[in-house]
A = this chain, B = another copy of it.
Amino acid sequence: MDPEIQYYAQHPRFHVALDCIIFGFDRGELKLLIHKRRFEPFMGHWSLFGGFLKADESLTDAANRILKELTGLEHIYMEELQTYGEIDRDPAGRVISVAYYALIPAHRYSASYSQRYGATWVNLHELPGLIMDHNDMVEKGLRRLRRRAASQPIGFELLPREFTLPQIQSLYEAIFGSSLDKRNFRKKLLSMDVLIKLEKKDMTQSRKGAYLYRFDRRKYQRLVEAGTGFAI
């Protein structure tokens, strides 16, 4: 690192950590990936996944590294949420924590990682008490997810590559925590013009089956950038 000038040197330095709010969608439910912390303080208590920032990495690199280490997944949808800097948030010392929220399709998360890190998917309705300010992070993360899902087709990040209309609706219902009118939902969804209907059906949920869809990545990306459109 470059030598710092006198003016900088007189100011204190802080540990900087990253905490990841990892949302997943599995069997109709919105879930959160947490684990039991393996060092003091709070060893054995439920915690978000996190880690300390290293000297040679940017915040984004650190968040990607932590997610990759813990899930094996890359190119995950991730967004900075908020930076937590209360003086006494960590009893072991001052740590500034940058919270990120990530969306991963739960079916892509391998059980081997789960074993290695003692990770557990918990339903958001049954979230246990988490250490420090982690419950607040989850609450803010959920609020942000809802806001995004209301204005962008963000929720699709949580679905498998091919999905049925009932699956998308069930995802949105899980995000918003309330049931949506089927006809209205489909009308809005199809009017966004981001879905490609495939010539095959999912036959596992009903005898009639449900057509599978995937999204048109280019149109999808354009909608995300425009930041409007999905007023559910």
Knowing A83-B59, A85-B98, the reply to whether A13 touches B15 (Cβ < 8 A) is: yes
Q: Min CB distance, A232 to chain B, in Å?
A: 12
Knowing A5-B40, A7-B39, A8-B15, the reply to whether A227 touches B56 (Cβ < 8 A) is: no
Q: What does DSSP make chain A's interface, helix, strand, loop or mixed?
A: loop
Knowing A41-B5, A80-B82, A83-B80, the reply to whether A16 touches B96 (Cβ < 8 A) is: yes
Contact B7 A59 (CB under 8 A): no
Does A200 have its Cβ within 8 Å of any Cβ on chain B? no
Contact B7 A147 (CB under 8 A): no
Report chain B residues within 8 Å CB of A16. Answer: 13-14, 16, 85, 96
Smallest CB-CB A-B distances: 3 pairs: A59-B85, A13-B13, A4-B93
CA distance A197 to B82 in the complex (A): 38
Interface residues of A (CB under 8 A from B): 1-5, 7-8, 11-16, 39-41, 52-60, 62, 80, 82-87, 91-96, 98, 147, 227
Report chain B residues within 8 Å CB of A14. Answer: 13-16, 53
Report chain B residues within 8 Å CB of A8. Answer: 15, 52, 92-93, 95
Report chain B residues within 8 Å CB of A87. Answer: 56-58
Q: Min CB distance, A48 to chain B, in Å?
A: 17
Q: What are 11 inter-chain pairs, A to B, with CB distance below 8 A?
A: A3-B93, A4-B15, A4-B93, A5-B39, A5-B40, A5-B93, A12-B54, A14-B16, A16-B16, A56-B87, A59-B83
Q: Min CB distance, A179 to chain B, in Å?
A: 20
Report chain B residues within 8 Å CB of A91. Answer: 2
Contact B85 A53 (CB under 8 A): yes
CA distance A8 to B39 in the complex (A): 10
Which B residue's beta carbon lies closest to that of A89?
B58
Q: Min CB distance, A44 to chain B, in Å?
A: 15
CA distance A86 to B52 in the complex (A): 15
